[in-house]
Amino acid sequence: MQIYLPIAEVSVNVFLLLGLGGLVGVLSGMFGVGGGFLITPLLMFIGVPPGVAVATGANQVVASSISGVLAQMRRKGVDFRMGAVLLAGGLLGSGLGIWIFALLRRLGQVELLVQLSYVVFLGLVGALMLREGVAALMRARGPAPPPRRAHQHFLVHRLPLKVKFRASGLYISVIPPLMVGAFVGLLAAVMGVGGGFIMVPAMIYLLGMPTAVVAGTSLFQILFVTANVTFLHAYQNHTVDVMLALLLLLGSVVGVQFGSRYAGLLPSEHFRILLATLVLGVCGKLGYDLVARPADLYSLDLGGH
């Protein structure tokens, strides 16, 4: 059954959209990821314009983050002071990203920006995930490695403007979390992702936050930054398609239930390798589309007429 999406200006099969949403939901339930970094390229594969795909991806992240934030708040797993600093940087970064996005959209280069961004980051994230999955698999089969410190003090901890973050047990400068938040906000605006795959490692290894508050604080920042990105895309670029977002959300709600049921079928190391393979596959398809010869070639004949 075909449905016309007025903002995207394309007709798409309803069951295909529900299936895409279901796929992202299954991945979320099985791997514990939001799926925002996959929904945008998948929408582009079925003909949705990049601008609409990015804005819809951000909208999906908002919806999926709400329940996560509420659950983390009940467990006291949110450092609100750190979240506020990250959010301040995220709002600045997302504002800059929206401006860049609108400028390139007027120049007709936004599709190239989105595809290049995804090729770079999906390739990087997929490679790191594959490396970590293979390493974890080898560790599981061999002797246990000696314990190592997860966090060390680097130059960022000697910067000025230090603040006490009691929930995280940290006394550090606000400059690093502001920069991390700004970079994640920029990614949210340009790529339509929450940026958790960047923020979580940065919070652990760069800022030195304990893992007990990392997920909740990350979701807190992501929720408000992606809500701001969705609003700005709708107001300035007019690229938020509500019907598209609702169909994807409906599919993901069903898919996450199935994903949660099958999350324990394989060891976590195998799941990481499978997800990394999927991410690298999407990256490869986007990279191929950038260099492949277009299906429809045309030329302008300016002579004689």
Mean pLDDT over 146-174 rounds to 69
The pLDDT tens digits of the residues spanning 207-217 come to 878 877 877 78
Q: Give the dihedral of Cα atoms 233, 238, 244, 246; nearest 10 deg.
A: 60
User: Higher confidence at residue 67 or residue 185?
Assistant: 185
Cα dihedral 16, 286, 180, 274 sign: positive
**What number of residues does the chain have?**
305
Q: Is the pLDDT of residue 288 over 80?
A: yes
3-state secondary structure at position 47: coil
Q: What was the pLDDT predicted at 91?
A: 92
Q: What does pTM read for this prediction?
A: 0.70
Residue 5: predicted pLDDT: 80
- CA R_g for the chain: 20
Q: What is the pLDDT of residue 150?
A: 47
Tell me the three state secondary structure of residue 173. strand
- Mean per-residue pLDDT, 248-255: 78
pLDDT band at residue 268 using 50, 70 and 90 as cut-offs: low
Q: What is the pLDDT of residues 39-89, one digit of tens each?
A: 778 888 888 887 788 877 777 667 666 766 777 777 787 888 888 999 999
* Confidence class for position 28, pLDDT limits 50, 70, 90: low
Quick check: 192 pLDDT over 60? yes
Long-range contacts at 290-297 (CB < 8 A, ≥ 24 apart): 290/112, 290/115, 290/116, 290/119
pLDDT at 65: 67
Share above pLDDT 90 across residues of the chain, in percent, rounded to a whole number: 4
pLDDT classification of 144: cutoffs 50, 70, 90? low
Beta strands in the chain (DSSP E): 2-5, 10-13, 162-165, 170-173
pLDDT at 92: 93
For 132, counting Cβ atoms within 10 Å of its Cβ (0-12 exposed, 13-18 middle, 19+ buried), the class is middle
> How many percent of the chain have pLDDT more than 70?
77
Q: What's the whole-number average pLDDT of the chain?
A: 76
* Segment 89-143, tens digit of pLDDT: 999 998 998 888 888 888 877 778 788 888 888 888 788 778 877 887 787 776 6
> Minimum mean pLDDT among 5-9, 235-239, 241-245, 254-258: which range?
254-258
pLDDT of residue 166: 81
Question: Rounded mean pLDDT of 161-178?
Answer: 84
